[in-house]
Amino acid sequence: MGVAIIGTIFFLFYYNMSSGLKSRFPKRKLKKKIFEHNYYEEYEKELSKYDSENESLDSQ
């Protein structure tokens, strides 16, 4: 009897987790794209800072 209760709880937990991930996946993917976009913007800003420093050193 105890095994059946534990099995039912495990099944419901697994079912809830698997069905919940499907509905949340596009939101996570969207957040990941936004994060990647911001990362590359920051990278380009850093790169432009270093490029401007190199140009000023070249002119001296």
Which tens digit of pLDDT belongs to each residue from 4-60?
A: 999 999 998 888 877 665 555 555 555 555 555 565 666 677 777 766 555 554 555
5 lies in some domain: no
Count up the domains in the chain and report the number: 1
Residue bearing tokens 């495990």: 10
Quote the pLDDT of residue 30: 57
Going by the DSSP 8-state scheme, the letter that residue 60 receives in this structure is: -
> What domain range includes position 42?
24-60
d(CA 23, CA 28) in angstroms, rounded, equals 10
| Local structure of 26: helix, strand or coil | helix
3 lies in some domain: no
pTM for the model: 0.33
19 lies in some domain: no
